[in-house]
Structures are given as structure tokens and as C-alpha cells.
Amino acid sequence: MKKAIFVLMFLTFAIIFVSVLVVVNYNSIRKLTPNIIKENLPSNILNFHENIMIPSQNILKSLRYKDFFYNVLFLPESHFAKFELKRFSISNDDENINDRIFSESGSRYFLDILDENILVTTYEGNTYYFKEDQLIDSNNITLSQIKNNLGEISPPISILDGLVENNKFYISGFQEFITEDGKSCKKVKLFEANFNLVNIEFQQIYKNDQCGYGKFMQAGRMKKYTLNDSDGLLFSLAENEIDKPNDNPQSNLSDFGKIIFLNLDTKKKSVFSKGHRNPQGLYVEGKTILSTEHGPEGGDEINKIVIGKNYGWPLASYGTYYNTNEKKYLKSHVKYGYEEPIFTYIPAIGISEIVKIPNEFLNEDDLDNIFFISSLNGKSLFLVKFGKNFEKIIFSEKIFIDQRIRDLKYVQKFNSFLLALEKPSQLAIIKKQ
């Protein structure tokens, strides 16, 4: 019996020791693993990398280095205000529908506001709404479904963004086809509809017949924009296959790796800017355009977008290759004729949406050009101040939320921001105390 206990204790100690050893040396192990193995790993291994290994490394660092969190404030405090964060459970009339509307495909969903209705569009193309007043009445949000015709499209549409403006509803998404040689071919499309709360009939207004071959199709963020007195949409297309950069972002024959302008009257498109990797956030006010963009490992960017400019991907990046030290990106952008980012997050934060903060939210007359930037893997909001002409960042403060933040919208009625949280999927609202 004593021998069995000793063996059990030894095995337990050995497992713990090996686990700690793997975590501490995880980056080295990852670099040494052959690419042929890493390229064929199932998605659950990638999720393990994102949700277990990286957080475990940071926990060990915080224990090992006593000043790892030097001068960091956590909710409800920040350096400029105290915030209140409230999370909501989500249900239908008679059942919890988290599992049904937020599937295992990534729990992505997008928010829009029209009048006093808050709209929820899921990755699978389902549309729901609820009244703003539910945000103050309880801890539970009851969604009502809006019928639409996206489910009639085959192969099915996976949603990249939704936009409601002037009673028009725009959807960006992609279809996945399997080619004759067995590859996954992803084609991006945009749809438009007259908005109502009963039944929405979408019509296609843009399609990209070129295949995207990466594991993931991302970007797709949309904003209304006027170009040469013509109303249209600006939207982003990604080209971010891990460690396999191609020529599409630099080629005038491809829409991938671009920000595109679509004329809503003629339905003609034009390349607005190029050299992008994965623009997840887009802000437009007048002629000011800001983009938040995923870099490779490290190097998430904030860019000031100017028509006709080239932002350097896949040649220039302050990030690095994920799985090899043998290849490098150009660091300087301007030296090689590309636009430098306003700011680069090193390490990367998993950057997502960018929204301007109205003056009344913080109630600080001395703070202007203040924005929230949300993050996915970073599980945080970043309170960011830009310089007068959006040429530089004055400060960026991290506000830890502890969930991935896909989307956020300002709710004027309550002077608050609504957050689309993932893993688990929840809605949350943040406001100044």
C-alpha cells in the first residue's frame, strides 16, 4: 500500500514538473516543432494554445516577477475614472438560447443600434433584437428573432459584420466552397436590405470570386463613407494565413488585404487602400478614417487610412512570424515607401473594434480624441487618446474585462457602452460611476 502511494505521489510530482517545464519553455517548443505538424493541428489544439498555454505563461510571469503588474489598475478603477461593468444573461421567451444562437463556431456576434432597438447578428446569420430599456430593468436580456433570408443561401453565409444605418441593413460575410483538389475556398459577399423588425430580405451588392485559402476568414468591418459626393461603404478584407504571406495585399488584381469602397448607387467597387493584413476595426468621421489591424505574432496596428496609400503587408510589420525565426518582416515602413502605423501594440493585444468616446461619457473637458479599442485575446478595453491630427497616440490604458470583446456600441440613452463578449457569450454594459 505504501509503495502504491509512493508511486502515485511520484507520478503526480512528475506530471506537475513536466507541465511547468512545458509552460515555461512553451515558446521554444513551439518554434522547434516542424511547420508540417503545426499547419495540420486541429482547431481544439489552437484553442488550447490561446486559452490555456498563453494565460498560464502570464500567470507564471506574474508570480516570478513581482512588478509584472506595476501600477496596473483593475475595474472598477482606471487612471481617469471609476467604471461599473454589468453582465447580462441572454434568453428567449421560455428557454435559455445561449447554446442555440451562439454556436461553437467561435461565439461571434455583432451589435447595432437603431432608434431604441439593439440588434444582435450572429456568425451564423441569425438576427435578433431587444429594447434598450432591458439594460436597466433586470440582469436578463430577452431576445426576439427577426426572420431573414440568409438561411436560404447555400453554402451558408458566415457573418463578418453587420451595419444598420438610415433604415438600411448591411451584412458582410463569406461562403466556404470545397475545390476539386479538396481545398477550402472562401468567397466574400456583401448584402443590403431595408430594415424592419419582422422579416428582412437581403440582396447581394458585392461579391469577390477570388478564393481565400486560409483556415480563417476575418475582417469584413463596414462603415458608411462619402467619396467624390457618392454615398458608399468602406469595408475591409483580410489576408492573414499564418506564416504564409502572399501577394494579394499588394496586387491590384485582388481585393484581399485591402480596404474597399463600394458605391451604393452603381455597386461599383474600388480599392481605397492596400497592404493590410486583418483590419478588425474601422472608424469613420468625415474624412478621418482609423483602422485597427491584427499583425502577425506581435505588432497589432492602429492606422490612419488615407486613400491610395499602401500600409506594407506582407512585407513590412513590427510583428514576427509565428513559428519560425528564419524569416523576418521589414520593420521600417516609411523607408520602403509604406505608411507607418500610428501605433503598434507590442506584444499584440488581439485588437478588434475602435469607437470614439463622447465627451459626456467621461465628463472631462480636458480630454478629447478619446477612444475605446477592444481586444479579443487581450480580453480588455483600451482607453486611448490620439493627438490632434491623429498622427500619434498620447496614451493607451488597459482596462481588463476578462472576456474576448468582439464588438462595442455607445448607447446614448444611458451614456454607456454595450460590449459583445465571447467565451462565454454575454452582453455587458460599462459606464462611469
Neighbours of 108 (CB within 10 A): 23
At 99 the pLDDT is 45
Give CA–CA dist 280/236, Å, rounded: 8
Contact criterion met (CB below 8 Å) for 88 and 426: yes
Cα separation of the two ends of the chain: 60
Per-residue pLDDT reduced to its tens digit, 261-289: 999 999 999 999 999 999 999 999 999 99
At 69 the pLDDT is 80
Amino acid type, 130: F
Q: Where are the domains of the chain?
A: 2-64, 77-88+349-433
Residue 37 pLDDT > 80:
no
Percent of the chain with pLDDT over 90: 60
Residue 94 pLDDT > 50:
no
Q: Nearest to residue 108, comparing CAs of 259, 211, 219, 195?
A: 219
DSSP per-residue codes, 351-367:
EEEEEEPPHHHHT-TT-
Q: What is the pTM of this model?
A: 0.85
Neighbours of 20 (CB within 10 A): 12
Q: What is the arithmetic mean of pLDDT over 200-205? A: 97
Residue 117 pLDDT > 90:
yes
The pLDDT confidence band at residue 30, using thresholds 50, 70 and 90, is low
* Strand positions, DSSP E, 100-152: 109-114, 117-122, 127-131, 140-142, 144-148
Residue 92 pLDDT > 90:
no
Average pLDDT value for the chain: 87
